Structure 1
Amino acid sequence: MSKPAYRLLPALLLAAFFLTGLLAPTAEAHPMATSAVLLDIGDDSVDGEIQLPLDRLSIAVARDLTGARVLGADRAFLKSYTAQHISAVGKDGRSWTVELGTGTVRSIDASPHLVYPLEIRPPDGEVTAFDLRYDVIVEELLTHKVIVTVGYDFDRGILKTDDAETLGVFDHATKTLTVPADEGSWLRGFAATAALGIEHIGEGADHLLFLLMLLIPAPLVAAGGSWHPAASRRRAVMRVVHVVSAFAVGHSLTLVLAATGVIDLPTRPVETLIALSIAVSAIHAIRPLVAHGEVLIASGFGLIHGLAFASLISDLGLDRGSLVTTLLGFNLGIELTQLLVVALLMPSLLVLARTRFYPAFRITVAVVGLLFSSSWMLERATLTSNDPFEGVQTWLVGHPLWVATTVACLAAAAHGAGTRTHRPAQQQH
């Protein structure tokens, strides 16, 4: 190496060191904390919360903030500071009332935040579009960002966390955002609640299994403690209609009563009783417990299933909007899904029910239902810690067309093999 190049070597190494530092991945670096404003749009008020990272808030107010100081010596100061930097103005120019609740400290994304409940009320009691003005922290900290999210707005179909919509970002240049609280319509909210009903039933293995246990014996009639084919397909179809209607009436009644607060039961006993309802209906499918028992089971245990549906409405906060519209939409989604299940399975079951293969098919499916429900009962009663059949249940619920196709193929094969029973009254044990 030449002498001039040798003398340049330290400088080259130093430059390479700094360049490596600039280009190195920043995986170990922590992203700068952001604030958040979460809004839930109601008919007469806007509720939500404000999340303020303590490290950014400390810089903005020039105080060394800790969790103890935030909830102690600096509590009044910080609430006053925050309230002074938030305001809401309607499109008519009138100011809306903005109130902060009691602040708490919460860890969000592994960073301590000061969290305030927020309530915004219009002067005339009717929420419409309004301008939200906000510069907490960003007035002093030019690089800070505040993400504004709408987590609930019935008229726009925003009903749960998965639907949350980012409205915009407050920063040093943007301190006012328009909240479109008058967009959408009740029809959009109705459609969204119906979709939730469809989703809940479509993903609820226990509700689907209960319905299946009711449908299996529906094409048959009970006599002498045994199952027999119905005298005609028309009679079998009518029995299916009776079963589905009984279940609909049962769960609709308690859904309304529980959602309106008339009755209130803890979730765990309700979920355990739902598992029990499946076990009882499975036993009835194996051997009839009583004549027309599936109708009685559908209506009686349908009352329990309705309590679970109402619990979901409460958990998602759907009762904050129009309760009548919510109940109608949610229930419509449930009924549509049930009718779809009936449409997919009953033609095949009606064909199978008139073959000599149906007793084996019916008993096999009922035993599987009994195993699943027993496992659910033990888990929900906290007698076991997990469900060993969860993987199978998840697969079955996730592949309804495969299940329906398999049953249809079995029906076609049985029918094509000429295995019809000789007489409608032939006993099926």
Structure 2
Amino acid sequence: MTSVRRLFPTLLIAVFMLVGGLASPAGAHPMSTSAVLLDIRDDEVAGEVQLPIDRLAVAVHRELTPESVLGADRSYLHDYTAGHIAAVGDDGTPWTVTLGAPTVRTIDATAHLVYPLGIRPPDGRVTGFDLRYDVVVEELVTHRVIATVRYDFDRGILKTDDAETLGVLDWDTGSLHVPAGEGSWLRGFVTTVRLGTEHVGEGADHLLFLLMLLVPAPLAAAGGRWHAAGPSRRRAVLRVVHVVSAFAVGHSLTLALAAAGVIHVPSRPVETLIAFSIAVSAIHAIRPLVARGEVLIASGFGLVHGLAFASLIGDLGLDRGSLVTTLLGFNLGIELTQLLVVALIMPSLLALARTALYPAFRIALASVGLLFSASWMLERAALTSSDPFEGVQTWLVGHPLTVAASLAVLAVGALRLGRRMPV
């Protein structure tokens, strides 16, 4: 009997461990959660509410399906959801909350009922407010609602990577403070500058186009061939300034027009034309197409690159109050990145252009650019399914200092060798 009593605690622990082990596979799959996504603008807060249909059915004590929530149960669910969402300004004034037409969307492998959300202050000026929300959680104690701000210009939240989680709403927490109206235009401006820098710095096609334009800049075209421009470095530097300025004017014009909604071109032909622009600039780097052609190419195809830049701004869903600031910041980021590329690459190109190695280097580099552009054109025109050079391009873009340092080493070596070689 004594031995049994001694064994009892051990047996009890074993039972608990067995039960826990059997239960663990089910516990590995967390219950679906709701989400409230907010886009904070100057005069309203937009966004959406995402409700998992299986949890919603438990809360409203109804059998719900993806078909019924948009059919027989549509009106009831709209009233139920709207009745459990409220917004109150920091001064205690209630704000107007509206829900748009619902849709069904699969999120994390679970069917969700999704409502567009609109929250408007009575005076038309968005400031901080309390979001009061207990859809589903007022009936289901275990349910969680994740509230996220996915756009707020003044606080530098412009895209998915910047999204900020406000907190979790549940049975115990039925309200969260939304810090709208905080931050400043300067913070949003700095963020858009960073966006422009990232967009060009991570875009292999934009960088390659600029590089193909810079390669012949230290040279002079005569008789359908490239020749050394002579001892005047000032003339070579002026050519670089003209190329960069022409590209800036071209892309700035279409960037502004497209962002303002004046012109719109589908992304696929734009991306294909960008690849074509690299091919033209690469051919020009091998053999001049026309005198000072790099300036004409930079300005003409700069218009096309501006349309690609505008597509990112269009995806941000800007309101009118921040559009001008965003255009200025984004464009400044683009120009700063271009100037950085010129500062890293051009001294080495100017040095190499004074050596006998430059013709072979220029043709080899332009041939690589032509190969990359052809691959991009085929992929973007949907003639091939993938780009075989994507890994190389990603590595080159991800290691700009290594590329610049390698080019500098090559230039120094060529200059030293050039003293013993006829130019």
Shared fold (TM-score, shorter chain, > 0.5): yes
Aligned to 2:120: 121
Alignment of 1:381-400 (within 5 A): 381-400=381-400
Deviation readout 1:153-182 (Å, 9 max, x if unpaired):
000000001110011111122112111111
Q: Hey, what's the Cα distance between the residues in 2 that align with 1:25 and 1:365?
A: 61
Q: Hey, what's the Cα distance between the residues in 1 that align with 2:319 and 2:42?
A: 12
Alignment of 1:162-181 (within 5 A): 162-181=161-180
Aligned to 1:21: 19
Query: Which shifted more, 15-24 or 100-109?
Result: 15-24
Deviation readout 1:335-359 (Å, 9 max, x if unpaired):
0000000000000000000111000
TM superposition shift of 1:369 = 0.1
TM superposition shift of 1:18 = 3.7
Q: Hey, what's the Cα distance between the residues in 2 that align with 1:11 and 1:198?
A: 65
Q: Hey, what's the Cα distance between the residues in 1 that align with 2:106 and 2:262?
A: 37
TM normalised by structure 2 equals 0.95
Deviation readout 1:212-231 (Å, 9 max, x if unpaired):
00000001111111111223
Question: Does the CA-based 8 Å contact 1:96-1:122 persist in structure 2?
Answer: yes
TM superposition shift of 1:319 = 5.3
Q: Hey, what's the Cα distance between the residues in 1 that align with 2:421 and 2:336?
A: 33
Distance 1:343 1:105, change over 3 A: same
Q: Hey, what's the Cα distance between the residues in 2 that align with 1:11 and 1:313?
A: 66
Aligned to 1:324: 324
Deviation readout 1:10-40 (Å, 9 max, x if unpaired):
9976862442222568244320221111000
TM superposition shift of 1:107 = 1.4
Aligned to 2:404: 404
Aligned to 2:240: 240
Aligned to 2:375: 375
Aligned to 1:294: 294
Deviation readout 1:184-216 (Å, 9 max, x if unpaired):
000000000110100010110000000000000
The residue identity in structure 2 corresponding to 1:53 is P
Per the alignment, in what secondary structure is the counterpart of residue 137 of structure 1?
coil
Deviation readout 1:305-350 (Å, 9 max, x if unpaired):
0000001111233456511000000000000000000000000000
Question: Does the CA-based 8 Å contact 2:86-2:95 persist in structure 1?
Answer: yes
Q: Hey, what's the Cα distance between the residues in 2 that align with 1:89 and 1:420?
A: 80
Query: Which shifted more, 317-326 or 345-354?
Result: 317-326
Distance 1:366 1:96, change over 3 A: same
Question: Does the CA-based 8 Å contact 2:40-2:46 persist in structure 1?
Answer: yes
TM superposition shift of 1:8 = 9.5
Query: Which shifted more, 181-190 or 50-59?
Result: 50-59
Query: Which shifted more, 110-119 or 350-359?
Result: 110-119
The residue identity in structure 2 corresponding to 1:380 is R
Distance 1:317 1:180, change over 3 A: same
Task: Kindly indicate whether residue 147 of structure 2 is the aligned counterpart of residue 148 of structure 1.
Answer: yes
Query: Which shifted more, 394-403 or 138-147?
Result: 138-147
Aligned to 1:252: 252
Deviation readout 1:222-267 (Å, 9 max, x if unpaired):
1111111223111100100000000000000000011111111111
Deviation readout 1:370-399 (Å, 9 max, x if unpaired):
000001011111111111111111111111
Distance 1:59 1:130, change over 3 A: same
Per the alignment, in what secondary structure is the counterpart of residue 417 of structure 1?
helix
Q: Hey, what's the Cα distance between the residues in 2 that align with 1:66 and 1:8?
A: 54
Aligned to 1:218: 217
Aligned to 2:110: 111
Q: Hey, what's the Cα distance between the residues in 2 that align with 1:103 and 1:94?
A: 28
Q: Hey, what's the Cα distance between the residues in 1 that align with 2:295 and 2:190?
A: 30
TM superposition shift of 1:92 = 2.1
What's the Cα RMSD here?
2.0
TM normalised by structure 1 equals 0.94
Q: Hey, what's the Cα distance between the residues in 1 that align with 2:22 and 2:154?
A: 48
Q: Hey, what's the Cα distance between the residues in 1 that align with 2:156 and 2:321?
A: 11
Aligned to 2:272: 272
Q: Hey, what's the Cα distance between the residues in 2 that align with 1:46 and 1:185?
A: 17
Query: Which shifted more, 128-137 or 284-293?
Result: 128-137
Task: Kindly indicate whether residue 352 of structure 2 is the aligned counterpart of residue 336 of structure 1.
Answer: no
Q: Hey, what's the Cα distance between the residues in 1 that align with 2:22 and 2:419?
A: 73
The residue identity in structure 1 corresponding to 2:300 is G
Aligned to 2:39: 40
Distance 1:407 1:71, change over 3 A: same
The residue identity in structure 2 corresponding to 1:314 is G
Task: Kindly indicate whether residue 296 of structure 2 is the aligned counterpart of residue 303 of structure 1.
Answer: no
Aligned to 1:348: 348
Per the alignment, in what secondary structure is the counterpart of residue 135 of structure 2?
coil
Query: Which shifted more, 56-65 or 364-373?
Result: 56-65
The residue identity in structure 1 corresponding to 2:345 is L
Question: Does the CA-based 8 Å contact 1:251-1:303 persist in structure 2?
Answer: yes
Question: Does the CA-based 8 Å contact 2:356-2:418 persist in structure 1?
Answer: no
Q: Hey, what's the Cα distance between the residues in 2 that align with 1:25 and 1:153?
A: 42
Aligned to 2:228: 229
Distance 1:57 1:350, change over 3 A: same
Per the alignment, in what secondary structure is the counterpart of residue 96 of structure 1?
strand
Question: Does the CA-based 8 Å contact 1:194-1:331 persist in structure 2?
Answer: yes
Aligned to 1:203: 202
Question: Does the CA-based 8 Å contact 1:259-1:319 persist in structure 2?
Answer: no
Question: Does the CA-based 8 Å contact 1:156-1:188 persist in structure 2?
Answer: yes
Question: Does the CA-based 8 Å contact 1:36-1:148 persist in structure 2?
Answer: yes
Query: Which shifted more, 204-213 or 51-60?
Result: 51-60
